[in-house]
Amino acid sequence: MASDLQLIAQELHARKEQIARNITSSSAYNGDHINEETTEDLIQARSKAIEVLADSLTEGVEEAKRRMEDWAENFTKKTVDLEMIIEKTMQNTSGYRKEIWNQLKEISSEYSLSQDMVFEAAIRIDDTLDKGLHTMCMASATHHSSVLKEVQSAFMELSAPIVPITNDVAVLPLIGDIDTHRAQVIMEKTLEKATNLKLNHLFIDLSGVQIVDTMVAKEIEQVATSLDLIGVKTTLTGLRPQIAQTMVNLGIELRNLDTRASLHQAIKEKELC
């Protein structure tokens, strides 16, 4: 049995590049934006996968799975760099099974191998290939999670867009919903930018904020208090009546905060326009 498995492994090794080419030619990406050079890179990468799958017939199961895991992580990185969609990459795994099964049938016929031997080889190969598929899924999920975090970070960076209107006066226009995380980012970025810009006065315009709950109201008060501690005067503008009422109901003393009905009014009073 061992000698037959070794024979199959040797034949798969000999045919690995052709198998890889067959997989690539029937790939879900065939005809997409993949150029000739990239196609050859993919063929070589898939050839290495066939090599690992062939070796799974003659080496320990755990060692074969470890090598397949390494290959899958590297291949997933390659497909990500090429902006290949993970769904298509997953579809292509069926191509590996199909091509290897075809080769097993040919090898079986050529060397008169038993059906049981072919099934044994297929089971070992499928088991190793499944490990690669699982690793690809996990690696892709990790990548997309990382990308999402980067996008969220970039968005949060824009959550506190301080706009200077003079050397020491600026406007912070807040727009949209403010959750706990965004409120914390606004606090951090506002203090950082106010310090870097050496501001004396900051107008925080809330006209674009539709809803203010307990947390948001407290954070706004905290921002104003923190700015005051570093010598930056704060004026809240665009306070809708319902927002003002919410803050009052929460016990936030608006009389302790400099407020104006509109940003235009506040800037005009400061004689900046």
pLDDT score recorded for residue 266: 86
- Give the pLDDT band (50/70/90) at residue 108: very high
| CATH number of the domain encompassing residue 17 | 1.10.490.10
Same domain, 117 and 182: no
Instruction: Tally the domains of the chain.
Output: 2
Residues 115 and 195 in one domain: no
Query: 135-165, pLDDT tens digit by residue?
Result: 888 877 777 677 667 666 666 655 678 889 9
Q: Which two tokens stand for residue 251?
A: 């016990």
Domain stops at, among 136, 155, 174? 155
Backbone dihedral angles phi then psi of residue 103, each to the nearest 5 degrees: -70, -40
Q: What is the CATH number of the domain that holds 221?
A: 3.30.750.24
Q: What is the pTM of this model?
A: 0.55
252 with 177, same domain? Answer: yes
Final residue before a domain boundary, out of 135, 155, 175: 155
Q: Are residues 87 and 194 in the same domain?
A: no
Q: What is the three-class DSSP state of 30?
A: coil
Q: Are 121 and 107 in contact (CB under 8 A)?
A: no
119 plus 171 within the same structural domain = no
Q: Over the stretch 17-63, which tens digit does the pLDDT of each residue have?
A: 999 999 888 765 554 556 777 888 889 999 999 999 999 999 888 89
> Are 124 and 234 contained in the same domain?
no
Q: Residue 216: give the domain boundaries.
A: 163-269
As to burial, measured by CB atoms within 10 angstroms (0-12 exposed, 13-18 middle, 19+ buried), residue 48 is middle
- 140 shares its domain with 170: no
d(CA 8, CA 19): 14
- Residue 201 burial (C-beta neighbours within 10 Å; 0-12, 13-18, 19+): buried
Q: How many Cβ atoms from other residues are within 10 Å of residue 250's Cβ?
A: 14
Question: Token match 């005051």: residue?
Answer: 228
Last residue of some domain: 155, 190, 215?
155
